[in-house]
A and B are shown apart, each in its own frame.
Chain A
Amino acid sequence: MRETKRVDFWTGVVLMLVSVGVWILTANLPVPKRGIGPGSYPRVVAAILFLLGLVTSVSNIQGGYPKASGSINWVHLGRAALLAVMSLVYVRLLNLIGFPLLTPFFLFSVIMLFGFKRWKMALLVSIGTTAVIFILFNIVFMVFLPVGRFF
């Protein structure tokens, strides 16, 4: 719980900063004579968020700055971070390399990251799934997935 307390304290701080940011960014938006202007509504929400952030930070720092107890599992977190980076790279390369060529590699590496040990099966699933999704979306749903610049 203490680990969450420290995270919650900093989350509160970040939320207060975000609220101030929203307040500043909406300062120059037009204000109509009647009704609410485009800036008023986000400002009201930002003010509530600021208060909630303040409550979160203050309630978690009562009794001093919370100590982190229990170590963070960096291996677990690292695997999730690696998956996020892999996904981002995959999306970024989709237009260049194309769905049919890139997806089997991506799927295979994610399956391996998930700890599946039978690589032949993983390869088969990667190629098979890519083919099924590509055909289904391109022919049935008429969603034309990127084919890349090599075709």
Chain B
Amino acid sequence: MIANLLTGFSLVFQPLAFLLMTFGVVMGIIIGALPGLTASMGIILLLPLVYRLEASVALVMLCGLFCGGMYGGSISAVLLKTPGSPSASATLLDGYPLCEQGKAGKALGISTISSFIGGLISTVCLILIAPQLAKVALKFQAADYFSLSIFGLTIMASSSGKNVVKGLIAGCIGLLASCVGIDTIVGVNRLTFNNMNLAGGFTLLPVLIGVFAISEVFAQVQNSLNNAPPAVQAVKNILPEWFEIKAILPAALIGSVIGVFIGIIPGTGGAIACFLAYNVAQKFSKDRKMFGKGALSGVAAPESANNATTGGALIPMLCLGIPGDVVTSVMLGALILIGVRPGPLLFVENVDIVYSIFAGMVVIQFLMLGFGLLSARYSPAILKVPYNLLMPIILVLCVVGSFSLNNALYDVIVALSFGVLGFFMRKWGYPGAPLVLGIILGPMAEENLNRALLVSNNNWMVLVQRPLSLTFLVLAAVSIAFSVYSVRKKEA
């Protein structure tokens, strides 16, 4: 492992890799800071660049954007009382009161240091856990893979929206969309309406661009007339005192542990982790009465937690091909575009890629710490970027990005169509992530179901006879039942 890690470090310290990784972190911080722009959108905008790069270089850049974006969300949470991403929702509870007290710099400093602690701990867990999980996953058979993809889809569907039925509908639409095109088993046209363009199915990149980026631009144009540049106070005294760092350490450690654990569970993510960490840190804190009024630990716990989900979320994505959250589902799509299929075989066939991600994640935390502390002073300027200039540029980048895949305008039409679909789904409360995951996991589910039935002579019981497969199916059922129960409980 050590030798592999050293090789990974030598890869990420190559000039191009290091430069692009730094670019990813900086872009991530900027994108994360701007409310309405998410890390997933940032990754999508970089995709035309990504699939022209070497896989390991592209991946460390995306990881940089992922971690930077997760941290960047805290900037607007502290300065504007508006989280840049849902993962920073709990940060504003104490971050903004600190800002009102004239301590915005201190809040941002604590946020940066806590994000660093969370990110580093989660990276260590990623390095230790992922190879072991991959070893277990190597024993999976076709039936297990089918059940795993069903589990991944149901858990994403049941946790990414307020209504589990809407999540499942989105997932099923994704599965149906993955059926369009020439069938891989027999080779006949399926649901193509004799349209030659549809024979190749829906390519992932235009779908991602449409669902996550174009739909956001459509959503922003609705209320853009009222957008005025926000008033933001100046940021000073960023570096906290040593005693303040010592005081927030317990909260940061609690947040890190919770973040890693939540991150590993597919379909969850930073938004859940930050609130859970905030509540637990408040219970164990000596100055719990200060929570909500500007406690530094109230910033440290959620910020360490949301950044700790990054390493955690990469574990199921790399080992099983099941994304941990929305951003990793986009990263999964990016990996497939590059030609890397995540799963246990990745740890056998592409060890260099895996360990360059591990090494990259370590370096990224230090880059995030450095750039976070350096850029905090200039963060008010980032927040003044006019949306009504930025969004049109993003739209053109989306058009060019989807065109660049095959130099075909058909892909742009697909992106626009999924953009419209994504817009209405967002408007009516249907989450976009299960739809994309359905498109990604659909072929995997179909191929493995076919293989399992071929091997077992059409015995459907094979899905429940294998313990692993049965476990995944039971977990899928439990995740749906739990979501339905939670919603009923809230309504009662």
Contact = CB atoms under 8 A, between A and B. Distances in A.
Nearest to A95: B409
B407 A91 contact: no
Interface in A94-118: 94-95, 99, 103, 106-107, 110-111, 113-116
Interface stretch (B243-251, B357-365, B383-391): B383-391
A114 B185 CA distance: 47
B217 interface: yes
Interface string B143-173: 0000000000000000000000110110011
A122 B389 CA distance: 8
Interface stretch (B63-71, B273-281, B450-458): B450-458
Contacts of B79: none
Main secondary structure of the interface of A (DSSP, over half): helix
A145 B457 CA distance: 51
B222 A133 contact: no
Contacts, number: 167
Given A15-B169, A116-B386, A4 B191 contact: no
B330 interface: no
Contact of B416 (A34, A80, A84, A144): A84
Chain B interface size range: 35 or more
A80 B225 contact: no
B169 A114 contact: no
A35 B420 CA distance: 37
Contacts of B409: 91-92, 94-95, 146
Interface string B220-249: 111111010000000000000000000000
Given A56-B169, A133-B396, A38 B176 contact: no
Contact of A116 (B183, B220, B389, B451): B389
B48 A143 contact: yes
Given A35-B185, A38-B185, A107-B393, A84 B420 contact: yes
A80 B419 CA distance: 11
Contact of B449 (A4, A41, A111): A41
A80 B219 contact: yes
Contacts of A29: 183, 186, 188, 190
A143 B407 contact: yes
A69 interface: no
A46 B392 contact: no
B399 A90 contact: yes
A122 to B, nearest CB: 7
A88 interface: yes
Contacts of B386: 116
B128 interface: no
Contacts of B49: 141
Contacts of A38: 183, 185-186, 188, 190
Given A35-B450, A143-B48, A83 B221 contact: yes
Interface in B390-438: 391-393, 395-397, 399-400, 403-404, 407, 409, 412-413, 416, 419-420, 423, 428-429
Chain A interface size range: 35 or more
Nearest to B446: A41
A137 B48 contact: yes
B152 to A, nearest CB: 15
Contacts of B221: 79-80, 83, 113-114
B218 interface: yes
Interface string A137-151: 100011111100000
A80 B222 contact: yes
B479 to A, nearest CB: 16
A106 B396 contact: yes
A111 B388 contact: yes
A31 to B, nearest CB: 10
B395 A56 contact: no
Given A42-B191, A144-B407, A145-B400, A84 B218 contact: yes
Nearest to A11: B428
Nearest to A134: B400
B301 to A, nearest CB: 33
A15 B454 CA distance: 31
Interface string B335-369: 00000000000000000000000000000000000
B210 to A, nearest CB: 11
B393 A129 contact: yes
Interface in A35-51: 35-39, 41-42, 45-46, 48-49
B332 interface: no
B19 to A, nearest CB: 14
Contacts of B396: 103, 106-107, 129-130, 133
Contacts of B223: 76
B52 interface: yes
B37 interface: no
19 contacts: A4-B428, A7-B428, A25-B191, A37-B185, A38-B185, A52-B165, A52-B172, A76-B223, A79-B224, A88-B413, A91-B413, A110-B392, A110-B395, A114-B391, A115-B224, A133-B397, A143-B400, A143-B403, A143-B404
Interface of A: 4, 7-8, 11, 15, 18, 22, 25-26, 29-30, 32, 34-39, 41-42, 45-46, 48-49, 52-53, 55-56, 59, 73, 76-77, 79-80, 83-84, 87-88, 90-92, 94-95, 99, 103, 106-107, 110-111, 113-116, 121-122, 125, 129-130, 133, 137, 141-146
Interface of B: 48-49, 52, 165-166, 168-169, 172-173, 175-176, 179, 183, 185-186, 188, 190-191, 214, 217-225, 227, 386-389, 391-393, 395-397, 399-400, 403-404, 407, 409, 412-413, 416, 419-420, 423, 428-429, 446, 449-451, 453-454, 457-458
Given A49-B176, A91-B413, 15 more contacts: A29-B188, A32-B186, A35-B451, A35-B458, A38-B185, A41-B446, A52-B165, A56-B166, A80-B218, A80-B221, A83-B221, A88-B413, A103-B396, A116-B386, A146-B409
